[in-house]
Homo-oligomer: A and B are copies of this chain.
Amino acid sequence: MQYPLPIAKLIESYMKLPGIGQKTATRLAFFTLNMEIEDIQDFSKSLVEVKTELHYCSICGNITQEDPCEICRDERVDRSSILVVEQPKDILSFENMGEYFGLYHVLNGVLSPMDGVSVDDLNIKSLIKRLQDHSVKEVILALNSSSEGEATAMYLSKLIKPSGIKVSRLASGLAVGSDIEYADDLTLKRAMTGRQEV
C-alpha cells in the first residue's frame, strides 16, 4: 500500500529540499494536510513567485525585483568601493550592520574544483568589467573563511591588484564574546597575526 497520490507527490517535493529526508518530508506533508487553505495557497504562490518575480541584478548579481537592484540604483551609495560576497543573502548581513555604504558584487559561489565550480561559473568577469571605469578604489573580499573561500580570495586578489585597485579582506580572529579556550588553532594564529595596538 502507498499513500494517496497527492500526498505522495508532496512528500517527493519536500524531499527535494536540502536536509529533508523521507521521514521529515512525510511529517511535513501530513502537517500541510492540516494547514489552513489560505496559508497553503500563499505558500504555493510564493514558491512560484520567488522564481518568476525575482531576477539577478545585471550589474552586481544580487537578487532583485527590478533590474538594476535597489543598491546599484541608489545614488547615495559610495561608488568607490565594492564588497564581494558569495551569496545574495550575505548582502543583507552587511546592510544590517549599517557601517558599509558602498556597492556589492555577488560571486554566486566560490571556486571549488571538487564540485566542478571553475572561474567561468562565477560572476568574476562582470566584477573585472565593473573595475574598468576607474571610480572603484577598493575591493573588499568578504568570502567565508572556508578553504574554498580563501582560495577564491587569493585568486581575486592576484587578478585585481595589478590594476592598482586596493584589495582588502575582512579581518580573521576571535568572534566577539567567544572564549579563547574554545578557539581553534588557526583562528588563534590569525588573531595573533592580525593583532592591533591599543
Residues of A within 8 A of B (CB): 1-7, 9-10, 12-14, 16-19, 24, 26-33, 35, 37, 39-51, 53-54, 63-65, 70, 87-89, 91-92, 95-96
Contact = CB atoms under 8 A, between A and B. Distances in A.
A6 B44 contact: no
B17 A87 contact: no
Nearest to A14: B43
Copies in the complex: 2
Residue among A6, A16, A18, A53 with the highest chain B CB neighbour number at 10 A: A6
B37 A51 contact: yes
A123 to B, nearest CB: 14
Contact of A46 (B1, B6, B19, B95): B6
Nearest to A45: B44
Contacts of A87: 30
A30 B96 contact: no
